[in-house]
Amino acid sequence: MIRAFLGIDVGSVTTKLVVIDEQANLLASLYTRTLGRPVAVVQTGLKEIAAQLNGNVQIMGAGVTGSARQLIGRVIEADLVKNEITAHAVGATHCCRDVQTVIEIGGQDSKVIILRNGIVTDFAMNTVCAAGTGSFLDQQANRLGIPIERFGELALKSKTPVRIAGRCTVFAESDMIHKQQMGHSTEDILYGLCQALARNFLNNLCLSKELLPPIVFQGGVAANAGMVRAFEELTKTEIIVPPHYDIMGAIGIAILTQERYQMVKKPSSFKGWAITEARYETTSFECTGCSNLCEIVCISQDGELIGRWGSRCNKWEL
């Protein structure tokens, strides 16, 4: 029986699950859409992961990161719950020990992480504007009738990329339409968009930050070769795309969970694969105990309350 560790990264657009062994080798992984149903998607994902493992592992610890980490942490009784910055930094360091800069672009947000000697010294996140995120690229590929998988391939065929305003999704889209109407080729428009989004990322998130190499690019958008080239042109530095660029957050939290186990040597609180058959329900209410009017979230498993959070004063924490 292989001793292993589970890592789950639950984002707003995609959910990633991995299982690693004690040497941090990847034993199983899954990348799937969250579809606005994080609990149900994690339950289904755990079934698929269990099928991949075929009963040959013992989960010694489970960790969760991502925007729904608190919710899923309660659902699976995670041993460790950490923010995405820490998880992505650890994942990047695992694949490139000397990494000093991490560019991470996901479905709904983007982030830059600065590391020095393996320690996070600075970071910035953009969760407000969709310009430059995977969902925006998906939308534009769909509008142009191009499979998102071919976006980067076509962008690299550009000979004279057009300049597109990339600071806002609305302006970028209207600018693209104008360039189409003017007669510019699809390839030039696609690569122009890649350049605009890379500029937007560097101008909004990286001002006053020193982007030293090695630079690792991870997140779903790292699959877009056009975005990789655009970043290389603007930073004048080679951009490293790791083999598992799309699941680095999940790998990072799995490694952190493994490190925690090695320190505490306690049995895992992970509920096990049986949670895939449990029935979960989330409800919420507004606390009127003071002027904060906190929104309290409750989660129940098979009718029994197992978690509650959201109050600033911890009055309702469970």
- The CATH number that applies at residue 130 is 3.30.420.40
The number of residues making up the chain comes to 318
Report the pLDDT value the prediction gives residue 139, as an integer from 0 to 100.
Answer: 83
Structural domain boundaries, residue 291: 280-309
User: Which of 34-48, 117-131, 180-194 has the highest mean predicted lDDT (pLDDT)?
Assistant: 34-48
Same domain, yes or no: 177 and 44: no
Report the pLDDT value the prediction gives residue 127, as an integer from 0 to 100.
Answer: 58
What residue type is 29 in one-letter code?
S
Q: What's the domain count of the chain?
A: 3
User: Which of the residue ranges 21-25, 126-130, 132-136, 269-273 would you say has the lowest mean pLDDT?
Assistant: 126-130
Any domain includes 92? no
Residue among 155, 230, 227 at smallest CA distance from 186: 155
What confidence tens digit (pLDDT) does each residue in 43-87 have? 999 999 999 998 889 999 999 999 899 999 999 999 999 999 999
Same domain, yes or no: 237 and 104: yes
The percent of residues in the chain predicted with pLDDT above 70, rounded, is 96
Any domain includes 163? yes
Any domain includes 314? no
Report the pLDDT value the prediction gives residue 166, as an integer from 0 to 100.
Answer: 60
Evaluated on CA atoms 99, 100, 102, 103, the torsion sign reads: negative
**pLDDT category, 12, cuts 50, 70, 90?**
confident
Same domain, yes or no: 122 and 192: yes
Same domain, yes or no: 81 and 111: no
| pLDDT value at 130 more than 60 | no
| pLDDT value at 168 more than 70 | no
Same domain, yes or no: 229 and 154: yes
Q: Is the preceding peptide bond at 214 cis, omega within 30 degrees of 0?
A: yes
Any domain includes 123? yes
Any domain includes 165? yes
What confidence tens digit (pLDDT) does each residue in 191-218 have? 998 998 898 889 888 988 999 999 999 9
| pLDDT value at 131 more than 60 | no
Any domain includes 316? no
Would you state the structure tokens that stand for residue 107, as one six-digit string?
């479905």
**pLDDT category, 132, cuts 50, 70, 90?**
low
Listed in sequence order, the DSSP H helices in the chain are: 38-53, 69-76, 84-95, 134-143, 151-155, 169-182, 186-205, 225-235, 248-264
| pLDDT value at 31 more than 60 | yes
Same domain, yes or no: 226 and 123: yes
Same domain, yes or no: 15 and 73: yes
**pLDDT category, 136, cuts 50, 70, 90?**
confident
Report the pLDDT value the prediction gives residue 248, as an integer from 0 to 100.
Answer: 96
Any domain includes 318? no
Residue among 183, 204, 197 at smallest CA distance from 155: 197
